[in-house]
Structure 1
Amino acid sequence: MTSATAEGRHDDGLVVGSDGLARPAWAATDALLREYYDTEWGVPVRGEHGIYERICLEGFQAGLSWATILRKRAAFREAFHDFDPDAVAAFGDSDVDRLMTDARIVRNRAKIAATVTNARATVALRAVGGLDALVWSFQPEVTPAPRTLAELPTTSTESVALSKELRSHGFRFVGPTTMFALMEAIGLVDTHLVGSHRRACSGLWHPDGSRR
């Protein structure tokens, strides 16, 4: 058993909100992050479009907070044509220059260029099964069952392998840590703390970490 403070914070890193639900501290106070945690994070994402968007946003997040990316997500979607791979694949240098002047998004030339490169790589993957099939082929047989924040991994054997495979197809900003964050976000692994109300929310995993 873990102890709780008067504020509802447990020593396992969970915080019990006014609604009686336990969430990790990062999702407990900010309304936007709480909504994301309760409705999106860890819910399975399938299909080329959704996975391409998540890869791009995880790449933009590198070195920044996820809250920053969430607050800019609508602007990102507008700037990158709702992350339509065909549309973004057609971007040229002038589009990258134009996006570098758009203060609503993260103005990092390497990340913007990678979004274009990754769109082209996504289109090319259609000839060999597609992005969705490639990414989901790295779902492990078991998922972590962390009870405390200290037990949360940041990479895995599968995220290292996925990173290597995507790089071999020309993707950029897809390092093992970024790919593990992607795997968490789209339900490939479940790293919700065992005491969280969202544990096993994907429907793909049992609370103990075994596959359904």
Structure 2
Amino acid sequence: MQKKPAKPKAHGAPRLAPRQVRIIGGAWKRVLLPVLDAEGLRPTPDRVRETVFNWINHQLGGDWDQAAFLDLFAGSGALGFEAASRGAASVTMVDNHGPAARQLEANQEKLKAANVRVLRADALTLVTDLGARGQRFDVIFLDPPYQLGLLSQILPLCPAILNEGGLVYAETGEPLPQEGDDIPDWLLGWDAIRADKAGMVYYYLLKLHEKVA
């Protein structure tokens, strides 16, 4: 009699479902939000977010209720909802992918996040429009798809929409050129005041050079 093939051993359920993101701090700490299952959409890992928000908190001096955030290429919304959870005055979340934008809106509704606004828009076009309207932000999140060269296109547009002393968080798949290297034109004028690496992800907190009187 032929034996039935043995069932594969279960390795245990993962700590999180594959398409969920956990808010790690603030009013919605530990809340799980569903994430759209879409190619190239990769939520910023918990450990990276914890580090980044510690950096930002230090720079803001804890004054979250005075800070306006812009989450371009919002994707899963991991960064924007984290900022909103911690009491940001406002968070504008932007994505040009219709299903992703609708998922962001659904999560906003789930959280009843009155300080969050979701826009479906092209990030490059929107930044130009915001600058023309005089809108300014204290922190901008830039976590674009790595392979499209979008960081080099959008970073030079950010000074026009940053408040004085504002911050840009940038996440990349390769290290940014440092001082002493051949720094590309699109990175000129920026200081990396914090930097770290997790796996194949490089992440930075950038600030414009201080102007000398």
Q: TM-score range by the shorter chain?
A: under 0.3
Give the helix-richer structure, 1 or 2.
1
Structure ranking higher in strand proportion = 2
Structure with greater Cα Rg: 2
Q: TM-score, normalised by structure 1?
A: 0.27
> Bigger relative contact order, structure 1 or 2, given CA contacts below 8 A and separation 6+?
1
